[in-house]
């Protein structure tokens, strides 16, 4: 049978992540991709047989090369950046594991990806050279990958573009390979600027400075001290976490204060976007308040609230742990993992993973970790998890109602599909291939039904914001990055996208309804900050 270019490109992109692979392995990977694409999926044996034909077709189309050593992808699938704008589908399928036709009814998603492919980036040389200086002096010891990224940016010549794509739920990404993406690690985020640098007004400066202060505990005075002698500063104050981002933020404060053009990408994060979306879907005002949907200023922190209400502070104090950051971190694990459909045991493991010096049993299972010098066992972390989860559902019963309704829908249908607010037909597959890592894994099943639905909505929110903002908007899921001159407009644009997405979403099952939220409050809220 003839295979679509989109499928062949998906296989090529997957193999590109692995270098040269054995022919038999390439056939197996291609078969796995086919199973992920097909409904109903072929058997494993049928898929493997078909995989050989897919590899041959990919080679004939110029996407793959077959040699005596094995199968490798064409050069264009290895390239992380482009010197010209990139249209959706030019380098990789516009929607992972899907044919291009799925975009026919997804106008918002398509518009967003076209705009993403036209975003032009460049290296902030000052940041790259500060990082190199710190490395040379031994003040900072980068990982091998961090070192490669710094060297790449120091050698970078000219501007570049990145390939846009969406995953099967409509979450949008910029493809970069190892370097040059503002969506990856702290080095590339810090060293990557918008090519169109702008001069910030006094109001813009004040707004951006507040964001930088909150995120990095940075002021203009500290920034000047750091940049004047970064080696000495780090020797005195220690190396900041997220060093690349910290360094670029310091430069931004100085550049803005001196009236210089600034290409800094200002990131503004939503306050627990998944719970914001669920609050709007159910009309849960109590939850909406805790995730800052109803006030102009950021007044609440859901993680601290749950830590307080669940007694996590007291429980940890009973174990000799009085650091409030530990309690918040434990509560964050509860909230985040519940949002992903995790059960109590998984949440407990998530809390355990927040500690240091992990201890394992003979079978490799985590059994304890150190929190500020105090050891907590896996059972103690499970107790914390139980308290946090119980409190979360008691305070916000709409969450448990949505979880149960989504799981029942998934179980009753076996295979589920729905339409994202962006117009994308989302299909939950039995088999998924992670094109970035090459991992082939089974879908989470009913437990993943609600998170996948919510992720399709937050993907639509990002796409809508990108499509309507009128300037480059670099999203990292629920984080929205803009130029320094556009940062003040982000909050309103994202709020409008939230309201649009929730209104446009046609739920495949009946949602619990506990109230009604005033959209006027949402429009003026601190949902991103």
CA 137 – CA 473 distance, rounded (Å): 36
Model confidence pLDDT, tens digit, residues 495-509: 999 999 999 999 999
Q: Which domain holds residue 39?
A: 1-78
Residue (of 177, 150, 142) closest to 163 by Cα position: 177
Mind listing the pLDDT tens digit for each residue in 154-167?
998 789 999 999 98
Burial 1-18 (b: 16+ CB within 10 A, else e): eebebbbbbbbbbbbbbb
SS3 for 332-358, per residue?
HHHHHHHHCCCCHHHHHHHHHCCCEEE
Please check whether residue 420 is in contact with residue 171, taking contact to mean a CB–CB distance below 8 angstroms.
Answer: no
With vertex at residue 230, the alpha carbon angle to CA 228 and CA 234, rounded to the nearest 5 degrees, is: 140
Return the pLDDT at 420.
Answer: 96
Domain boundary among 46, 78, 110: 78
Check residue 411 and give its pLDDT: 80
* 240 falls within a domain: no
**Would you say the pTM of this structure is higher than 0.75?**
yes
Percent of the chain whose predicted confidence (pLDDT) is above 90: 65
The pLDDT value given to residue 441: 45
Helices and strands of the chain, counted as H and E runs: 22, 16
What pLDDT score does 133 carry? 97
Quote the pLDDT of residue 318: 95
Report the SS3 class of residue 229.
coil
Does residue 321 fall inside a structural domain? yes
Domain count, the chain: 2
Identify the pLDDT of residue 96.
Answer: 78
CB 484 within 8 A of CB 256: yes
pLDDT in tens, 58-114: 888 888 988 888 998 886 666 567 888 988 888 778 887 677 778 888 999 999 999
pLDDT score recorded for residue 76:
66
Instruction: List CB contacts of 342: < 8 A, sequence separation 6 or more.
Output: 350, 447
Q: Given this model, what pLDDT does residue 25 score?
A: 86
Q: How far apart are CA 257 and CA 262, in angstroms?
A: 10
Do residues 95 and 166 touch, judged by C-beta distance below 8 A? yes
d(CA 380, CA 391): 17
Low-confidence ranges of the chain (pLDDT < 70): 1, 39, 75-80, 97, 177-178, 414-415, 429-445
Record the tokens describing residue 6, joined without a space: 């989109």
Task: Give a yes or no: residue 512 inside a domain.
Answer: no
Q: Which helix (H) or strand (E) holds 66?
A: strand 64-67
Evaluate whether residue 116 is within a structural domain.
no
Strand order in the sheet with 366-371: 356-360, 366-371, 374-377
Q: 108, 88, 174: which is closest to 421 by C-alpha?
A: 108
Look at residue 473 and tell me if it is in a domain.
no
User: What per-residue confidence (pLDDT) applies to 99?
Assistant: 74
* 182, part of any domain: no
Q: Can you give the pLDDT at residue 78?
A: 61
Q: Which residue, of 44, 78, 112, is where some domain finishes?
A: 78
378-395 vs 302-309: helix crossing angle, rounded to 10: 100
Domain membership flag for residue 215: no
In a domain, 261, yes or no: no
Structural domain ending residue among the three candidates 395, 420, 450: 395
The residues, any chain, with a CB within 8 Å of residue 380's CB and separated by 6 or more, are 319
Residue 31: predicted pLDDT: 86
Contact criterion met (CB below 8 Å) for 417 and 459 = no
């Amino acid at each position: 049978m003839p295979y679509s270019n989109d499928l062949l490109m998906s296989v090529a992109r997957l193999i590109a992540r692995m270098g040269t692979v054995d022919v038999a392995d390439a056939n197996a990977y291609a078969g796995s991709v086919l199973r992920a694409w097909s409904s109903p999926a072929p058997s494993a044996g049928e898929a493997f047989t078909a995989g050989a034909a897919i590899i041959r077709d990919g080679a004939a189309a110029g996407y793959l090369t077959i040699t005596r050593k094995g199968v490798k992808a064409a050069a264009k699938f290895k390239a992380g950046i482009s010197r010209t704008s990139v249209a959706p589908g030019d380098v990789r399928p516009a929607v992972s594991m899907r044919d291009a036709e799925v975009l026919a009814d997804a106008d918002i998603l398509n518009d967003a990806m076209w705009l993403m492919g036209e975003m032009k980036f460049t290296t902030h040389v000052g940041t790259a050279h500060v990082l190199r200086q710190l490395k040379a002096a031994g003040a900072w010891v980068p990982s091998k990958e961090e070192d490669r990224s710094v060297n790449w940016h120091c050698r970078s010549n000219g501007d570049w573009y990145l390939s846009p794509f969406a995953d099967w739920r409509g979450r949008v990404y910029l493809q970069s390979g190892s370097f040059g993406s503002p969506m990856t690690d702290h080095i590339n985020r810090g060293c990557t600027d918008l090519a169109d640098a702008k001069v910030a007004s006094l109001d813009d400066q004040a707004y951006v400075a507040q964001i930088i202060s909150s995120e990095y505990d940075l002021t203009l005075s500290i920034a000047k001290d750091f940049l004047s002698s970064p080696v000495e500063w780090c020797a005195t104050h220690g190396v900041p976490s997220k060093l690349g981002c910290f360094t670029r933020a310091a430069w931004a404060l100085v550049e803005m204060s001196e009236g210089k053009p600034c290409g800094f990408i200002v990131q503004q994060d939503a306050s627990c976007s998944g719970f914001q979306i669920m609050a709007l879907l159910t009309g849960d005002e109590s939850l909406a308040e805790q995730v800052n949907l109803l006030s102009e200023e950021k007044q609440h922190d859901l993680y601290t609230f749950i830590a307080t209400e669940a007694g996590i502070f007291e429980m940890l104090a009973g174990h000799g742990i009085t650091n409030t950051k530990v309690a918040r971190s434990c509560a964050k694990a509860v909230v985040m993992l519940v949002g992903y459909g995790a059960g109590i045991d998984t949440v407990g493991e998530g809390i355990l993973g927040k500690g240091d010096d992990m201890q394992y049993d003979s079978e490799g299972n985590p059994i304890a970790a150190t929190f500020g010098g105090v050891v907590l066992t896996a059972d103690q972390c499970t107790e914390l998890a139980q308290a946090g989860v119980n409190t979360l559902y008691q305070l916000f019963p709409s969450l448990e109602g949505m979880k149960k309704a989504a799981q029942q829908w998934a179980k009753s249908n076996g295979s589920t599909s729905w339409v994202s607010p962006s117009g994308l037909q989302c299909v939950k597959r039995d088999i998924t291939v992670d094109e970035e890592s090459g991992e082939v894994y089974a879908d989470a099943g009913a437990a993943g039904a609600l998170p996948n639905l919510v992720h399709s909505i937050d993907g639509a929110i990002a796409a809508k914001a990108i499509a309507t903002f009128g300037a480059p908007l670099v999203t990292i899921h629920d984080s929205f990055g803009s130029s320094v001159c556009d940062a003040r407009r982000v909050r309103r644009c994202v709020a409008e996208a939230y309201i649009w997405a929730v209104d446009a979403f046609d739920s495949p099952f009946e949602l619990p309804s506990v109230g009604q939220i005033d959209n006027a409050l949402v429009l003026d809220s601190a949902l991103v900050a």
